[in-house]
Structure 1
Amino acid sequence: MVERCIRGRAASEGVAVGPAVILRPLDGASRVKGSIAEEHAALAAAVAGARLAVADLITRLDGDAAELIGFQLALLEDDALTEAAYAEIETGAAADEAWRAAMAAEIAGYETADDEYFRARASDLADIRDRVLRHLFGLEDNGAMPNGAIIVARDLAPSAFLGIDWSKGGGIALGEGSPTSHVAMLARGRGVPMVVGLGPAWETLSGLLLVEGGAGLVEADPSAEHVENARAQGAALLRQRADATAHQLEPALTRDGTAISVLVNISGPADMTALPAAACDGVGLARTEFLTGNLLRDEEAQYQAYAELMRWADGRPVTIRTLDAGGDKPIPGYTVDGESNPFLGLRGIRLSLRHPDIFRVQLRALARAAVAGPLKVMLPMVTNAAELGEARMHLRAVLAELGDSNIAFAEPAFGIMIEVPAAALAAQEFAADFFSIGTNDLTQYATAASRDGAEVADYADVLHPGVMAMIAHVVRAGRSKGVDVSICGDAAGDVRAIPALLKVGVRALSVSPGLLPQVKATIRTIDLAALAEDA
């Protein structure tokens, strides 16, 4: 066999060698068609089964993962998704045929949408389609893959990635996709080598594959020598990661002795078991999107969750973001359905201020938890100073209510997440106690490029001079106002971006727990004095 290399985009570093497993829509499966009533019941059972499977998957996930596939669960809980299929069944179509036709129309609508957000979500719809079909056909899910398999597909939904056991190795080669997509973020967090943007050539891949994630290369039928070299590279990378983990409890000091705070992003209780609290300088971002359904109005349940996090932090500062729903994080009954562009619609603080009763429940729980230590409340998606002022009004009202009761409370620090370019450029106008820069949204808004969009992936770069200029501006504004500034987006864990962030004055990075050891190791290699001389 002649080895053949296909170049794509590097999405997650590392090297993997293994058999190709091609993921394509289910073709060739069949079932016996029943009566209209039986077909209606079969589809209803299949959708319910898929919904339960996704919900169960969410309960077994760590960190950002559960949040990322909430989109699929929300769709499966929406009756509108199945209306067209049920109507087709009433005309005499089989449940599987009706479901395929209905989902083909939905997927086509997403793929041809003007908005990049919807085009990026098409892979989630394809995954939902196949999940329901597997239940209709009585087939197993994709989770049972050969050890070390290389997953080859046009694109891969977050839930498909999360349903695969990566503990025995493996890699990913995608025809489409973006290095800044949700799946790429998951792959980096779990150390799964990944190459995206291979183009139509992905359909020619089969047999033994070698994935070089850092180089953006996929090699088909590699020679024994190449396999040996790749495995040596992979082993070296594993040793490097092990060494970084062995030193994770040590402070992050640059070569010239500058201390950099390295905090962690927390998405749920599972993240608190990923590393010891002593390895970090606190929690730079604790997400609260797990507050779905009745929990939105359950003050006691929220308080217990926040108090548990404060106990884990053991006196270190904890920044908890208020509910950041909307965009790609819908919550039935809370977020707005049918927005033409959810990322530019009602989300974050905009929604909280529209639901003051729910917002105040969360603020009460946070003020109660602040008794346990240095708790900081962060408002997401803030655009203007009036929003911060209105939110403070709600906080003062909550503190007054608690003051009239016998419930212990403390006033938390009140800051904002800077992810809207207008807020970044006007940072000096905000009377916030701290700034935390969300580089994911700031980058996609500033570059007009969705981080999930394969076609515009090269544009969505945090190192774009315009994006870096905004970050530098926020740092200067923070210093002039005497408030702390940190980074809590993906850029904080990107070893390529860390030198540039430190160069413009960032001194606090908040990263996912799995990336903390490597981030600290990277910081220790940087000489800030030398960077300043190169300016």
Structure 2
Amino acid sequence: MRAMRIEGVPASAGYAEGPLFELDRPAGVYASKASSAEETLSLEAAIGKAVSRLVAMVGTADSDAAGILEFHIAMLEDDALSGPAFASIASGKTADAAWRQALDAEIAGYDASDQDYFRARAADLRDIRDQVLRALTEDGDSTAPAGAILCGEDIAPTRFLETDWSHGGGIALKAGSTASHVAMLARSRGVPMVVGLREPLTAGSGMALLDAEHGTIVLAPSLTEIGSFRQASSSFAARQGKAQTFLARPAATKRGTAVRVQVNIADPRDVDAIDIATCDGVGLMRTEFLFGKTLPDEETQYRAYRKVLEWAGEKPVTIRTVDAGGDKPVPGFTVEEGNPFLGLRGIRLSLARLDIFRVQIRALLRAAPHGNLKVMFPMIATSEEYERAAALFAEERAALAARGVAHKMPPLGIMVEVPSVAIAPEAFAGVAFFSIGSNDLTQYVMAAARDNAAVAHLNSVRHPAVLRLVGSVAAFGQENGIPVSLCGDAGGDPASIPSLLEAGLRDLSVAPAQLAMAKAAIADVPV
């Protein structure tokens, strides 16, 4: 076979060399039972086995992975999902056929949607379907060999989490997305991943070379190509090693310009693995992790916020009020919409559900005395939204004071992710700070969904239109004494950092795993 190079989109930088392993393998053969009652018991046992596997994985997962797994557990335990399958068994179908038919019907409905949110839900359902089918057939022949490059249409989060990546390996997908759950997990664990490949792969291709720094895979490579690949891989590893020497140092450009580098976290437990000396604080603490199966009470939220504030000491901790909606549904809080990214999400949803928002506000006010708290509102589009949210903080502060409860009013800022704010920042001259959410700002400016591989080439923070808005917000902040930071994925991308600094930013917030590489990239920028 002649060497073949296929282009794709880098989702998690790195290099992998090994055999291809097909993800889209058919499940094993199910042994039918003698009666409907036995088929029912068989499906119940398989669902239970799948849940047990997920529960075991939750115990060793980090916060991001645990949230995904808990969502799958909740769906498997939902009678509304399994009910149609049990009804089909009662009508004479075998357990595997009934389960596949019921789940495929659900998946087809979501797949047919033109909304990325619903198509993403279909991927979760496919994962759940296949977990139970594997349990039904007791299919044990689906483990990839050590160091293999997993290839296929897409990969389920659970498949990623149960794979042993300690011996290398990577992921190469025909579909997939740089903003998917698996892509985020891959970046946090250093697993090379390429999505949006222009041609399908087949496992019969033998040895493959995955360059997830530039987004290519080479099948049946020549000796010359193998040599060049290994040289590039060694260079990448050397750069990573060199980057570690920057981790404990304050970030500065080649000309000595200081740049603040903070971290993004999704769960209070995340800080247990971070040395506060390596960062300048928390630039984004997401609070959606608290809004899982049940809505959190005030005390639960207070304890979570206090933990992070006490860990950070005098360094700032910027907590974002709940950014539910869009691709982050919350049972009992969010609503299903035809176009959720442009619907009732972020601050819009909080202002529509004051009963829930006031609880979070009180918890934040009570936690503020325990550290250097800053609070920001997501998805702000108009100054009236900010003013309403700030007024609620003032009301709850007065109520706590009347009750003699310890509290403190933190600085209140906004996310700059809706183009209306980036285009006319003067309407928000009264806010305490701006934090640019590059993920949403880019997808709204470019009209290209961040989780759609088909338009991934359009979704770039380095597009002149996006950078012009970033630069104008940074300039407005500097002229008016309003601090400006950036907390999207671009802040930790070495390829984007030079453009962001040249646009005027001097404060970036990145995933903890990206701290060293971000600081190293900053040191190479001549500004």
User: In 2, are the aligned partners of 1:10 and 1:179 still within 8 Å (CA)?
Assistant: yes
Give the % identical residues: 49
Q: Does 1:124 align with 2:87?
A: no
Equivalent residue of 2:290, what SS? coil
Q: Which residue is equivalent to 1:389?
A: 387
Once the two structures are TM-superposed, the CA of residue 208 in structure 1 deviates from its matched residue by: 2.3
Question: Aligned partner of 2:341: which letter?
Answer: F
Letter of the aligned partner of 2:437 in structure 1? Answer: G
One-letter amino acid of the structure 2 residue matched with residue 42 of structure 1: S
Preserved CA contact (<8 Å) 2:58 2:66? yes
The match for 2:219 is 220
Counterpart position of 2:368: 370
State which of 405, 412, 415 in structure 2 corresponds to 1:414.
412
Q: Out of 81-90 and 317-326, give the one that drifted further.
A: 81-90
**Counterpart position of 2:12:** 12
**Cα distance in structure 1, aligned partners of 2:348 and 2:501:** 31
Corresponding position of 1:103:
103
Shift of 1:483: 1.4
Which amino acid letter does the alignment assign opposite residue 505 of structure 2? V
Q: Is the 8 A contact 1:316 1:374 kept in 2?
A: yes
Could you say what secondary structure the match of 1:296 adopts? coil
Shift of 1:120: 4.1
Contact 1:171 1:211 in 2 (8 A): yes
Q: CA 1:349/1:46 → structure 2, altered by over 3 Å: closer, same or farther?
A: farther
Distance 1:259 1:193, change over 3 A: same
1:309: Cα distance to partner? 0.6
Name the aligned partner's letter for residue 375 of structure 1. Answer: L
**The 10-residue stretch of structure 1 (271-280 or 422-431) with the greater mean CA deviation from structure 2:** 422-431
**Is the deviation greater in 212-221 or in 411-420?**
212-221
Q: How does 1:302-451 map to 2 (within 5 A)?
A: 302-336=301-335, 338-430=336-428, 431-451=430-450
**Secondary structure of the residue that 2:334 maps to in structure 1?**
coil
Aligned pairs, how many? Answer: 526
Separation in 2, partners of 1:51, 1:335: 25
Of residues 73-82 and 209-218 in structure 1, the stretch that sits farther from structure 2 once superposed is 73-82
Classify the secondary structure of the residue corresponding to 2:375.
strand
Q: Deviations over 1:420-464 (max 9, x none)?
A: 222322332123211111111111122221112121111111122
Structure-1 residue corresponding to 2:27: 27
Superposition pairs for residues 41-190 of structure 1, below 5 Å?
41-54=41-54, 56-67=56-67, 72-73=72-73, 75-139=75-139, 144-190=143-189
- Alpha-carbon deviations, 1:214-239, whole Å to 9, x = none? 23222223345544543443333223
- Report SS of the residue matched to 2:145: coil
Amino acid at match of 1:361: V
Contact 2:7 2:215 in 1 (8 A): yes
Moved more, 298-307 or 246-255: 298-307
Secondary structure of the residue aligned to 1:202 is coil
- Take 1:409 and 1:175, find their aligned partners in 2: how far apart are those partners? 52
What TM-score results when the alignment is normalised by the length of structure 2? 0.92
TM-score (norm 1): 0.91
The Cα of 1:320 is off from its aligned counterpart by 0.8
**One-letter code of the match for 1:310?**
L
Is the CA contact (8 Å cut-off) linking 2:32 and 2:39 kept in structure 1? no
SS class of match (1:326): coil
Q: 450-459 vs 158-167, which deviates more?
A: 158-167
Aligned partner of 1:26: which letter? Answer: P
Shift in CA distance, 373/27, structure 1 to aligned 2, threshold 3 Å: closer
Residues 155-164 or 69-78, more deviating: 69-78
Instruction: Report the CA distance shift for 1:244/1:227 in structure 2 as closer, same or farther (over 3 A).
Output: same
Are the equivalent residues in 2 in contact too, given 1:134–1:141 (CA < 8 A)? no
Does structure 1 conserve the Cα–Cα contact (< 8 Å) formed by 2:258 and 2:506? yes
Q: How does 1:433-512 map to 2 (within 5 A)?
A: 433-512=432-511
> Is the CA contact (8 Å cut-off) linking 2:268 and 2:305 kept in structure 1?
no
**Is the counterpart of residue 250 in structure 1 residue 249 in structure 2?**
yes
Structure 2 counterpart of 1:341, which letter?
Answer: N
Q: Is contact 1:284–1:318 with CA below 8 Å preserved after alignment? A: yes
Q: CA deviation at 1:351?
A: 2.1
- Tell me the SS of whatever aligns to 1:146: coil
1:91 to partner: Cα distance: 2.2
Moved more, 105-114 or 169-178: 105-114
Structure 2: tracts of 5 or more residues without a match: none
State whether residues 484 and 507 of structure 2, in contact with CA within 8 Å, keep that contact through their aligned partners in structure 1: yes
CA distance in 2, matches of 1:436, 1:501: 13
In 2, the alpha carbon distance for the partners of 1:377 and 1:86 equals 48
User: For the Cα contact (< 8 Å) 2:436–2:485, is it kept in 1?
Assistant: yes
Q: Which amino acid aligns with 1:220?
A: L
Measured in 2, the distance between the counterparts of 1:516 and 1:229 equals 28
Distance in 2 between residues matched to 1:370 and 1:465, nearest whole Å: 39
The alpha-carbon deviation at position 200 of structure 1 amounts to 4.2
Q: Structure 1, residues 341-378: CA drift from partner, whole Å, max 9, x if none?
A: 22222222222222222222222221122112210111
RMSD: 2.5
Q: Report if the CA contact (8 A) 1:265-1:284 is conserved.
A: yes
Change (3 A) 1:500 1:282: same
Q: Distance in 2 between matches of 1:184 and 1:303?
A: 31
Give, in angstroms, the shift of residue 185 of structure 1. 3.3
